[in-house]
Structure 1
Amino acid sequence: MQDFSNITTYGCVVAGVGPAGMGFLFNALKNGQLPELAQRGLLIVDAGGTPAGGRLGAGRLGEYRITANSVGDVFLDCLRDPALAEFFAPLEGDSRLEGIRAQAFSAPALDEVGALLEAASALVLDYITTLSGAELWCGTSLDALQRVDDCNILTLSHMPGHDSRPLRVRTRNLVLNLGGHQSPEYLMDSLSRQSLSLSSRARVYSGDELLRMPEGLLRSLLLPRLRRGGRICVIGGSHSAFSMLDVLATALGNTRVTEITLLHRSPIRLFFENAEEAQAAGYTFDPERDVCPISGRINRSGGLRYRALAIGQEVLATGRLEDCAMNVRLIQTGPGPTQRLLEASEALADSPIVIQCNGYQPILPRMTDAEHQPLTLSEVKGGLDSDANGNPRDLHGRLLTGLYLFGLGAGLAVDPTLGSEAAFDGRIYGVWQFHHHASLHALNAIMERTAEPDTVLAMQPRSEDAVSKADEDATGGDLSSALSALSGTLRPAMI
């Protein structure tokens, strides 16, 4: 049996200070549980940021050049709790807050949302780092995770300029939300299951990356690949896919590109506040499967909203985006006439550019079990197979308690008590969810677990001597001076 008595122990580690990780910390603050969480040992790590203060709290949200799929008031609601009022008082009159308030009932640009979340997160993190027992390490990556029973053994590394030797820490509660990525292999597997494949000259581009590019860079990247002809094919049918159509049509209008093809597996679904609104728009829906039984909204979870909705309506009605003089060809590859698959196959064969907009997979550290064998998490449509707390399952169906993932690429299943349409079988993401129900379940579970006796190893005091001894054993050197520096210099000036 492995001996963990020489490894620094924390009651909870939060890895990733983006919208999901900050949602967890906001919930702990709103519920008055942060001091207790800190008292039991709270370590917050993020690969971004700098010792003098960095951009934490929004992840890459502020880099996207598209509008949100929620109105501004949804994001304001993340800051509205009375328990947060004193922390966010310094934001009153700030242009980042007032800008979102000015468009409270329309969809703001994501870069504006990102700026507000960073400003609010800075204030919360500034408070957290004053709590005894809480530490914030910026520029720190989580490289490896070993699961031993229901505990997490973490290997961390620091950005250049700090001690580069790995640190090992242990926690019974790891909130792990490092963001999401788009894997070409995932796309290829998805196409293969539909008996579809790419041409030999096709290059797959991540829609996530393209949606963050300026128009000029987008043109210089894509147009040279079309010199010998061919088409651009976007794969996906959700908000990001239609946002991609919007971005491409704007950037490539008045060039030799006159048509974009969109392959989507399921029917394109549109969001409406109620049945009357959908009927007025001429939209046909299934009253049993497309209507949320709690809110009465049409395609509440899976429908296109706001700018993406406008693009979807125009394309469905006319097959064209008139303002950009761009034709859009829609091909559904899901169940239906075999002619659809033939059309899709022909389109892919003629596509040197394929843009992936069919979802995300979570960014994860290298994961192993107690015997150092690779550990793989089970996936379902749209994310990870997990319970309401965000505890994932492995490939054998075993629930990994003490590990919590609910951010981009992971998501959570629909909660029937909150409502959704029966037709939606994906996972729920979103800033509002991260700051409310998704992270609240994880918080409640963590507070219960930190109150339990640790049967594998009693909590070790995290004094400088204890930390020094732990890492001397783990790395063969005395890291006390480096760790002392970390605890003092890795806390940003603003945060």
Structure 2
Amino acid sequence: MYGDQLQTACGCVVGGAGPAGMGFIFNALKNGALPEMARDGLIIVDASASPGTGRLAEYQITANSVGDVFLDCLRNPALYEVFEPLQHSAAYWRIRDQAFVAPPLAEVGELLAEASKLVLDHIVEHFAVQVWSSTTITEVVWVDDEYQVWVEHQGRSQVIRCRSLVLNLGGQQDPRHLLNALADQGLALSLTAHIESADSLLRMSDEQLREHFAPTLTAGGKVTVVGGSHSAFSMLENLAKGLQSAGLEEMTLVHRSQIRLFYESAELATASGYVFDPVNDVCPVSGRVNRSGGLRYSALEVGRDILDHGRIGKYGVRVHLLQSGEGAAQQFERAKQALAESSVVVQCTGYQPRLPPLKYVDGSPVTLREVKGGLDSDPSGCPLDSTGQRLHGLHLFGLGSGLGIDPRLGSEPSFDGRIYGVWQFHNDASGGAIESVSARVKSPLAERAVPSRQHSERVDNEQPFFWPGFHAAKV
């Protein structure tokens, strides 16, 4: 099937081998779907030289789940032989030793990278899966219910035709998204304010943070964090820890809705004095309070400190909480003033999906419909375009895309965002996509050449083509 030709055809392409893409592969392997899925060819495309690593290991924060949740992603009889080498892995034993506490996300990333390497080696050897490393997806064209995935490796281009495309290339934080969200509330930043991405800052060490913020602190500039999620409170903690010795005394957190705390049960929440709605804030399946939208573990401790004492207890840095939506008018005005006076504003308002250009066959762009927290998709991660048309065969459920709440799986009714996370990627989030892909790969691709427009564009731009044969080796 994979010859030296200008195009390659396969049943499915998995674009991105980070936590979401590998969650899809793990889940398909353990539930027995992968052999059928790979029958007509399965190609995994990843920009990294070491597919399967993702960026989890770069974050300097605590996970929002206990270690056993991540171990559960590996705990399946079908994967026992694949993961047997992990018995000798220091990364595995570090997470096992933290089974009932939240481990550092960097250590979770290290374990999942090792596990992913074992899985990729296994499926290449046993199911002829191809792994194209150091390869970037440059464009996706939707043509008559199939996809042309244009990729580039070392300056050479190739097109892959497929019926199904699982596309999770990570998330990004677009400053325009923050500015638009603030404008919708009647809020704005000063013309001189600098917007920082929490995604970048959360990967910095204390020393790097001090160096990065030195000009702001030396000039007496004010720092405001916008958001109310786990990452926002992790960001406050990292800034306090790294910058208190450099002169940081206070910060402001502007959040649109109420800060919510997570509890394992309504009884525990009541015992701690936490006030919640017994209907809207409680998951009817698990009985947990703020199961999807509440702060957990380290972020929960930081949130409690700030709510109760107005400061981050470990470091003594003051934090002013200002609710800009559904709050008192006085808080809104203070939030407006704080944003206008801030030198640095840290964006912690979620992610948008990192996507290559998506196009229809006529060359016009495909715009995916967005909702709060991600894309407007069905339970398999299949999105709608801006006209309301479903792009069957395309599946996105990773960071920045997410999935809507499924009542069968449970969540508090008050949560209206999108769900994503490592355990979800390995279970519920990828499950619907696996079912859909398995059904579609049974229908063969039609015999069709790549439209001449695509070929001529690359010739005119002097973009050479490459052939995939040398990328079929194990990674």
TM-score range, shorter chain: over 0.9
Partner Cα separation in structure 2 for residue 57 and residue 254 of structure 1? 37
Q: Match of 2:81, as an amino acid?
A: E
SS in 1 for 2:29: helix
- Does residue 82 in structure 1 map to residue 77 in structure 2? yes
Q: 1:285 aligns with which of 276, 290, 311?
A: 276
Q: Does 1:485 align with 2:470?
A: yes
Query: CA offsets, 1:16-55, max 9 Å, x none?
Result: 0001000111111112222222221111010002xxxx2x
Q: Quick check: 1:9–1:459 contact (8 Å CA) kept in 2?
A: no
Indicate the residue corresponding to 2:146 in structure 1. 151
The aligned residue for residue 115 of structure 2 is 120
Please name the residue that 1:377 is paired with: 368
Alignment partners' CA distance in 2, 1:312 and 1:46: 37
Are residue 96 (structure 1) and residue 91 (structure 2) matched? yes
Distance verdict in 2 for CA 1:105–1:132, change over 3 Å: closer
C-alpha deviations, 1:319-347, integer Å up to 9, x for none?
01132120000000012332222101110
SS of residue paired to 2:150: strand
The two structures, once aligned, show a CA RMSD in angstroms of 2.2
Letter of the structure 2 residue corresponding to residue 118 of structure 1: A
Q: Report the equivalent of 2:356.
A: 365
User: Any conservation in 1 of the 2:7–2:158 contact (CA below 8 Å)?
Assistant: no
Q: For residue 136 of structure 1, what is the aligned residue in structure 2?
A: 131
Verify: 1:180 aligned to 2:140, yes or no.
no
SS in 2 for 1:198: coil
**The residue matched to 1:252 in structure 2 has which SS?**
helix
Q: 1:453: how far off? A: 4.1
Q: Which amino acid aligns with 1:188?
A: L
Cross-structure match for 2:324: 333
Note if contact 1:39-1:134 (Cα within 8 Å) is conserved in structure 2.
Answer: no
**Preserved contact between residue 40 and residue 133 of structure 1 (Cα < 8 Å):** no
- Using a 3 Å threshold, how does the CA distance of structure 1 residues 269 and 132 change in structure 2: closer, same or farther? closer
Q: Which residue of 2 aligns with 1:355?
A: 346
Contact 1:6 1:473 in 2 (8 A): no
**Deviation digits for residues 78-117 of structure 1, max 9, x if unmatched?**
0001111111011113111111111101000001100100
| Counterpart residue identity of residue 263, structure 2 | F
Q: Among residues 368, 385, 389, which one is paired with 2:380 in the alignment? A: 389
The AA in structure 1 aligned to 2:290 is N
CA distance in 2, matches of 1:264, 1:70: 23
Task: Decide whether the 8 Å contact of 1:254 with 1:324 is kept in 2.
Answer: no
Q: What is the alpha-carbon distance in structure 1 between the residues aligned to residue 6 and residue 157 of structure 2?
A: 15
> Aligned AA for 2:114?
A
Task: Go from structure 1 to structure 2 and tell me whether the alpha carbon gap of 1:425 and 1:60 turns closer, same or farther (over 3 Å shift).
Answer: same
- The change in CA–CA distance for 1:478 and 1:412 in structure 2 (over 3 A counts) is closer
Provide Cα deviations, 1:249-289, integer angstroms capped at 9, x if missing partner.
10111332210100000100000000111011110000010
Listed one character per residue, the Cα deviations across residues 189-244 of structure 1 (whole Å, up to 9, x for unaligned) are 00000010001110000001000001111111112023332310000000000000
Within 5 Å, which residues of 2 pair with 1:187-206?
187-206=178-197
Moved over 4 A (4+): 470-482
Q: Kindly, what percent of the aligned residue pairs are identical?
A: 51
Q: Structure 2 CA distance, aligned partners of 1:190 and 1:474?
A: 38
Q: Provide closer, same or farther for how the CA distance between residues 258 and 472 of structure 1 changes in structure 2, counting only shifts above 3 A.
A: closer
Q: Which moved more, 1:403-412 or 1:91-100?
A: 91-100
Q: Does the CA-based 8 Å contact 2:68-2:99 persist in structure 1? A: yes
1:75 offset after TM fit, Å?
0.2
Q: TM-score, normalised by structure 2?
A: 0.94
Asked if 1:254 corresponds to 2:249, the answer is: no
Deviation, structure 1 residue 479: 7.9
Please name the residue that 1:39 is paired with.
39
Q: Matches of 1:258 and 1:308 in 2, distance apart?
A: 20
In structure 1, what is the equivalent of residue 30 of structure 2? Answer: 30
CA distance in 2, matches of 1:448, 1:323: 53
CA shift for structure 1 position 131: 3.6
Q: Is 2:163–2:393's contact at 8 Å kept on the other side of the alignment? A: yes
Structure 1 residue 471 displacement after superposition: 8.5
Aligned residue number for residue 8 of structure 1? 8
Number of residue pairs matched by the alignment: 467
Aligned residue number for residue 302 of structure 1: 293
In structure 2, relative to structure 1, the CA distance for the partners of 1:106 and 1:35 (3 Å cut) is same
Question: Does the 8 A contact of 1:69 with 1:305 survive in 2?
Answer: yes
- Per-residue CA distance 1:352-389 (angstroms, 9 max, x = gap): 01000110000000111121001111110000000001
**1:234–1:356 contact (8 Å) kept in structure 2:** yes
TM-score (norm. length: structure 1): 0.91
**Structure 2 Cα separation of the partners of residues 19 and 205 of structure 1:** 24
CA contact (8 A) 1:20 1:434 kept: yes
Q: Secondary structure at the match of 1:173?
A: strand
Is the Cα contact below 8 Å between 2:140 and 2:149 reproduced in 1? yes
Q: Which residue of 2 aligns with 1:463?
A: none
Could you tell me how far apart the structure 1 residues matched to 2:144 and 2:309 are? Answer: 57
Deviation, structure 1 residue 6: 6.8
The code of the aligned residue for 1:138 comes to S
Q: Say which SS state the counterpart of residue 314 (structure 2) adopts.
A: helix
The match for 2:422 is 431
Change (3 A) 1:481 1:340: closer
Q: Deviations over 1:399-439 (max 9, x none)?
A: 11100000000000011001100000000010000000111
Q: Distance in 1 between matches of 2:227 and 2:55?
A: 21
Q: Does 1:61 align with 2:56?
A: yes
Quick one: which amino acid aligns to residue 324 of structure 1? Y
